[in-house]
Every structure is written in C-alpha cells, then in structure tokens.
Amino acid sequence: MHLFLAWLVVSLPDSQTLEVEPRGDVTLSCTNVSRSPTSALWMRAVHTSKPIIISSVYGTDSSSVRYMDGFQQGRFLLDSNLIFVNLTIMQVEVSDSGWYFCQIFLDMDIVIVNSTFLKILGDDTLHKEDDTKSKKDEHWIMVGGMGAVNVILALVILGLILNITNQRQLQRGRLTLC
C-alpha cells in the first residue's frame, strides 16, 4: 500500500530581500503558476523555527481566505486572482522580520514559488543572534575537536609507555611471550 498521496515539489526560487521602514506597508508578490483556481498559502519562518502558516486561500474567492492564529486580518491582507497571490503586511513591526514563503498547489504537487527575506530597517537582532549562535557553535566545535585530540594524544602516550615497559621487561627476562 502506497502512503504517498502527493509528491512534494520544491522548486527553490530565487530569494529576495526586502527592506522596509517600521510602520510602513509592504506587499509580497507571488505568481500564481497554476493559472487555474487552486489553493495557495503564505508562510513565515523566523530564526530556526519551523515555518508557520499566515494565511491561505482557495481560488480567487475572497470569502475563502483564512488567517491563522496570531495573524489578524486588517494588518495582513491576502489577495489572489488567476495571475498572483499577494500578501500585504500593513504597519510592519520589528517582529515581522523573517523569511516568507508562498506555496501554490498544482494538482498533487506543492510548489514554493516565492521566498522573501523581510528585514525591518533598524532591526539587527536577527543577524546578531545568528552571528552569536554561529560563533558559539564554532567555539564548541573547536573545544570538542581539541578535546578529541587530547584524548588521542593521551592514548598514544599511554600506548608508548606500555610498549616501552614491555620491551624493558622482555630485555630483563621478566616477561614471557605466549
């Protein structure tokens, strides 16, 4: 029995970065590659968190637009037709910084059509936190690597000491070989 109901098609698009002033409005555009009524959604990922769905729509009917918890209609607006599926964020805040992805469902496939990094000007916390985490990771990799080298050197030295001791005992006739 096949458990695969659909193929996940990830066509990694060229990503772009949008820089926006706080309290400004921004529209993220996504081309509707299906050219027929289909489901589409916008997602956001911040730092290393898994992507969360902001809003979804089926076809061009505005009554089918759904906003997920935490993304209130009024500040987020999803607009779609047979050509595009756009997400407008009004009065952007620092907390809106992150990666945004647009997905279109084609038959049994899921296509990521757009990836945009939204940077709110004056917000360097995302990159500073990433840099700090990267430096911490490098530090622990270095510490772990040096620790492993020390253990290996200690084992080599112990092996040499045992070998020298055995050689001396053989020379003195104290050690017999089987």
Cα separation, 130 vs 47, in Å, equals: 8
Say which CATH superfamily domain 7-123 falls into.
Immunoglobulins (2.60.40.10)
Q: What is the pTM of this model?
A: 0.61
Contacts of 112 (CB under 8 A, 6+ apart): 10, 11, 12, 13, 101, 102, 103
Each residue's pLDDT tens digit, 14-65: 678 999 999 999 999 988 888 778 899 999 998 767 889 999 998 888 888 9
Each residue's pLDDT tens digit, 94-149: 989 999 999 998 878 888 888 899 999 875 655 555 566 666 666 566 666 666 66
Each residue's pLDDT tens digit, 76-99: 999 988 888 999 999 999 989 999
